[in-house]
Structure 1
Amino acid sequence: MPGLLLDTLRGTNTHKRPVWLMRQAGRYLPEYRALRAEKGGFLALVYDTDAAAEITLQPIRRFGFDGAILFSDILIVPYAMGQDLTFLAGEGPRLTPRLVDHALEALVPVPERLSPIYETVRKVRAQLGTETTMLGFAGSPWTVATYMTAGEGSRDQAETRAMAYADPEGFQAIIDAVTGVTVEYLCGQIEAGAEAVQLFDSWAGTLSPTQFERWVIAPNARIVDEVRKRHPETPIIGFPKGAGEKLPGYARETGVDAVGVDETIDPVWAARELPAGMPVQGNFDPLQVLAGGPDLESGARRVLDAFANRPHVFNLGHGIGQHTPIAHVERLLAVVRAWERN
C-alpha cells in the first residue's frame, strides 16, 4: 500500500498531512556531521553509496518523515556531461570549464558518473518501509545551466542571463542537452526505486516573464512529458523557487503533478490561484524553524489551514538551515502531526 505522501501526490486530500523537509538529510544533524568528518568531502559522500544511503536514512530514523529524499546534488548532471565538479570549503561548488568561455561541444560526457546515484536509491529503497516514499530529484535545466555557464552560483545569474539574451541559440543548445540528460537521470532513479521525483529550479525567480516561459516552463514541460511516457505512475513535483505570480502558469503549463511553493508566497493566494485539486507542497519559512518561539506553531497552522481544501504536503519554502535546532524541528513536526482536516 502506498504511504501518505504518495497518496497525497497522486491527488488524495487526506485528513492528515504528510511531511518531509528539503535538505532534511544534512548539516543540521549531528549524525551527518559525524559521518562527514569520518568520510571526507561532500562529493566523496555522494559517491560512497553506503554513506549516501545512510545519510538519506538518518532523518527518517530520527523524525519518521513521510518521504526520504535522495542525498545527492543537482550538479551531478553537469558532472556526467563532462564538466569537472569540486566543492570548496566555505565557497560552494565549482564547475570547469565554464560554458561562458567554452563550447558545449568541448565537454566529453561521462555517463557512468550517474550509476552510483542509482545504486544509492536501490540501497535506500531496500531499507525503507512501505509507509515511507522514496524521493528522487534533479535540478531543472535553467538552474543547472546557470552553474554550467558561470561555473558557480550567483545571486542574480547575470552572466547566464546575458548569454541567454546575446546567444539564444547557443544557450538553447545547453538547455536542450541538460534536458535530455535529466530525463534519463530521473528515469534511472525511478527504475532504481524512486517513487516520486522533484525538479528543483532554485534560480527561476531571476527571469523576466518571456525568459521564464522559454528557459523554465518549456524545458520542464519536456522533462515531465518524456518521464511520464516511460513512468506514468510516478508523481513529479515541480519547485520553481521565486516564481511568484508566474507560479500558476508554471503549474498549468509544465504538466507537473504537484507544485512546490516557496516561503515568499502567501499560502492563501496560492491555494486560490493554483489549479483546482493540484497537490501543493510547502511553504513554511525555514528561518522560522531556525528561530523557533511562539510563532512557529501558529505559522505552521496557518500554512496547514490555507491548504486544507486541496492535497497538501507540508514542507519548507526552501532547505532547512544548517544551524536549526533539533528541538525546533521536533516541535514543528508535533504541530503538523496533530493537525487534522475538518
Structure 2
Amino acid sequence: MNAVPLKPLLAVLKGERCKHPPRWMMRQAGRYLPEYRALRAEKGGFLELVYDSPAAAEITLQPLRRFGTGPEGLQAAILFSDILIVPYAMGQKLWFEAGEGPRLAPTLHESSLDALTSDFSRYEAIYETVRLVKAQLAPETTFLGFAGSPWTIATYMVAGQGSKDQGAARRMAYAEPERFAAIIDAIVAATVPYLIGQIDAGVDAVQLFDSWAGSLSPQQFAQWVIAPNRAIVEQVRAARQGVPIIGFPKGAGAKLVDYARETGVDALGLDETIDPAWADSALPQALPVQGNLDPLVLIAGGKALDAAIDAILAAFPTRPHIFNLGHGITPETPIAHVEQMLKRLGQAG
C-alpha cells in the first residue's frame, strides 16, 4: 500500500523542501478581516469569542475561506485563542481592557503562586474549538496549535499586563531567582498538558511563542528562555512522538543559534529583524525555518512588498522554508496586499 503524502506545510516541518514554500500568517485569524470584526461585534469581547468554541472555530477558518488553500492560498490554519489561557487556567483572573490589552490578577509581584487555585477545565473550550476546526479542514491543510513560552507568560503573570521592557519580571528574575524559577516551572507544568491536549484534539503541530525573548541578556536568555522551552519540547515529544514543535523567540538575534541547538525544536521562526541570509548560514544545517516578512511592508504593498518577498525566498536556496511574517499581521493591513503577497509566492520558483 502506498503511503499517504504529507500535507505540504507539515512535510516542511518534518524536513522536506518544497519548490514553492508553503505559507501561513501569524495572527491570520483576526482583526484585519471584516468578517472577524463583524463576528466580534455580534458576540462581544475577545475572551468571550475564545470561549465560544463554534465562534472561535469560525474565526480560525475565515482566512482559509477568504484566501483559499490551494497553490496561491494558505497551507495552514492557526488556532484562534490567546497565549494567556495558560495563566487563566493556573488561577489568575483574565480580562481585556478596551484599547489597552489583557489584564491578569492577582499579580505575582504582589502575590504568590500559592494564592492561585488552578482550574484546568478552562482548557476544554480550546480543545473543543480544535475538534470543530479539524472536522472542517481540507485534507491538505496543516492545523497549528500553540502556547506562549514560559518567559513571556511569566512577564504577564508578574506584572499583570504587558510592558515595554518587561521590567517587573526582569527585576524579580535578578533579585529573587528562586521565586521566579518556581513561576517558570509552574508555567512549564501547565503548558505541557495544554499542548498535548491540543494535539489529542487534532492539531498537527504546535508553536511556542516567546514574544518578549529579546529583552533578556545572554545569561538570562539561557536560563529563562532556552531551558524551559527545552523542558516543554522534551516532555511533549516524549508524550506525542512525531508532532513537530516550532520555536519562535522574537528578538533573540544571534542567540537564535543557541536556541535552535539547545531547545530541540523541529523548526525555528524568524522575526523581521533577522537577516534571512545570515540565518541560513548560521543555523543548524537543514533545520526548517519560518518567516520573516516585515508586517509593515505588507501594509506598504507595491514594489517594496514584492522585493521583500523575493529577498526572503532567495535567502533559503536549499533549506526547508515556510513563508510567514516576522510577527503578527496588523489590523490595518489591506486585504489586497495579502492577496498580492500570496500571488507573488504562487509565481515564485
The TM-score, its normalising length taken from structure 2, stands at: 0.97
User: Quick one: percent identity of the two aligned structures?
Assistant: 65
Question: Given residue 86 of structure 1, which amino acid in structure 2 is its aligned partner?
Answer: W
Which of residues 225, 242, 247 in structure 2 aligns to 1:233?
Answer: 242
Who is 2:63 aligned against? 59
**Within the alignment, does 1:5 sit opposite 2:9 as a pair?**
yes
Counterpart secondary structure, 2:306: helix
Aligned equivalents of 1:9, 1:334: Cα separation in 2: 23
Maintained 8 Å contact 1:2/1:130: no
Aligned to 1:33: 37
1:112 aligns with 2:121: yes
Classify the secondary structure of the residue corresponding to 2:164: coil
Partner of 1:160: 169
Distance in 2 separating the partners of 1:334 and 1:180: 42
* Paired position in structure 1 for 2:233: 224
Stretch of structure 1 that moved more, 60-69 or 251-260: 60-69
CA contact (8 A) 1:82 1:107 kept: yes
Give deviations 1:161-212, integer Å, cap 9, x for gaps: 0000010000000000000110000000000001000000000000000000
Aligned partner letter, 1:193: G
- Corresponding residue number in structure 1 for 2:142: 133
Secondary structure at the aligned position of 2:302 is classed as coil
Shift of 1:307: 1.3
Match of 1:103 in 2: 112
Task: Kindly provide the CA deviation profile for residues 244-273 of structure 1, in whole angstroms up to 9, marking residues without a partner as x.
Answer: 010011000000000000000100000110
Per-residue deviation, residues 198-254 of structure 1 (Å, max 9, x unmatched):
000000000000000000000000000000011111000000000001001100000
Q: Distance in 2 between matches of 1:3 and 1:308?
A: 21
How many residues in Structure 1 have an aligned counterpart in Structure 2? 340
| 2:322 is aligned with 1:313 | yes
**Counterpart pick for 2:181 among 166, 172, 180:** 172
Q: Which amino acid aligns with 1:246?
A: K
Aligned residue runs from structure 1 range 142-221, under 5 A:
142-221=151-230
Provide the C-alpha distance between the structure 2 equivalents of 1:310 and 1:76, rounded to a whole number of angstroms: 34
Q: Secondary structure at the match of 1:135?
A: strand
Pick aligned residue for 1:274 from 283, 306, 309: 283
Give the equivalent residue in structure 2 for 1:73. Answer: 82
- 5+ residue gaps, structure 1, are none
* Structure 1 counterpart of 2:100: 91
The runs of at least 4 aligned residues of structure 1 exceeding 3 Å deviation read: none
**Partners in 1 of 2:62 and 2:327 — Cα distance?**
19
SS at match of 2:168: helix
Cα offsets for 1:265-296 (capped at 9, x unmatched): 10000011010000000000000001112110
TM score, norm. by length of structure 1: 0.99
Residue 71 of structure 2: aligned partner: none
How well do the aligned residues superpose, as a CA RMSD in angstroms?
A: 0.6
1:292 partnered with 2:292:
no
AA aligned to 2:146 is F
Q: Note the alpha carbon deviations across 1:294-316, whole angstroms, 9 max, x for none.
A: 11001101001101210000000
Give the SS at the match of 1:262.
coil
Equivalent residues of 1:85, 1:95 under 8 A apart: yes
For 2:297 and 2:316, how far apart are their aligned partners in 1?
19
| Amino acid in structure 2 at the alignment position of 1:104 | L
What one-letter code is carried by the residue in structure 1 that aligns with 2:235?
A: E
1:15, CA displacement in angstroms?
1.1
Does the alignment pair 1:42 with 2:51? Answer: no
CA distance in 2 between partners of 1:326 and 1:48 (Å): 26
| 1:17 match | 21
**Structure 2 spans left out of the alignment, 5+ residues:** 69-73
